[in-house]
Structure 1
Amino acid sequence: MFQRILKQMRDKVRNRQYVMTLHAEEEMSDDELTIFDVERGILTGEIVERQKDAQTGEWKYLVRGHTVTGDDIAVVGKIGLTGKLVIITVYRL
């Protein structure tokens, strides 16, 4: 359904054009995930939900994919004003 956005997100990951919020880094650490897990989650995943940010009005996307070990992972991200992918949060499913 959101193939154009998913392609943009994957391209940003492949070209290292992304940033992670502090919240995403904390959640990644709490769930014992690595940046490689997050990247693989986006590269193997599908967008399952689009959400409108209550504060900014921007669209953010929930991607469900797999870690490098095959576990399920969720990544919430958006394309920021600078054109980079902003990874808002991540968590193990």
Structure 2
Amino acid sequence: MRECLARGRVILGSHFRRELAAEDLDLVDAWQVLRSGNIYAEPEPDIKTGEWKYRVEGYEPGGKWLAIVFSFKSADVAFLITTFSLEAKRRKDEGHEKGRVQ
């Protein structure tokens, strides 16, 4: 991923761009996470494309913990699929819990 960033071979998916805006962040914030973050989980297969999805996580400059999901289109081209903050994930998970029948 860092090699892709250095060479400018990163494709921003439309969903990624929408979610980044929804988090009130910009590309500078995302690039910081991509350059300095870590991958904590094993990659997962994307059921739509068959490609492996990776998730890099870290703090953006404003202090928000951000996760960015990406895949490699080739050895030197990365595709950014989506992004979310820990806060947004927590809100989404809580919403699912409230809607669950006990």
Selected match of 2:65 from 65, 68, 72:
72
| 1:8-19 equivalent positions in 2, closer than 5 A | 9-19=1-11
What number of residue pairs does the alignment pair up? 85
Name the one with the larger helix percent. Answer: 2
User: Which 4+ runs in 1 deviate beyond 4 A?
Assistant: none
TM-score normalised over the length of structure 1: 0.83
Distance in 1, Cα, partners of 2:37 & 2:75: 24
Distance in 1, Cα, partners of 2:34 & 2:63: 13
Distance in 2, Cα, partners of 1:47 & 1:58: 17
Unaligned runs of 5+ in 2: 87-102
Selected match of 2:45 from 52, 57, 62:
52
Distance in 1, Cα, partners of 2:7 & 2:76: 12
Q: Which residue of 1 aligns with 2:83?
A: 90
Selected match of 2:55 from 62, 70, 78:
62
Distance in 2, Cα, partners of 1:66 & 1:88: 18
Please say which structure displays the higher CA radius of gyration: 2
Distance in 2, Cα, partners of 1:82 & 1:64: 21
Selected match of 2:18 from 26, 38, 51:
26
Q: Which residue of 2 aligns with 1:5?
A: none
RMSD over aligned Cα, in angstroms? Answer: 1.4
Residue 35 (str. 1) matches residue 27 (str. 2): yes
Unaligned runs of 5+ in 1: 1-8
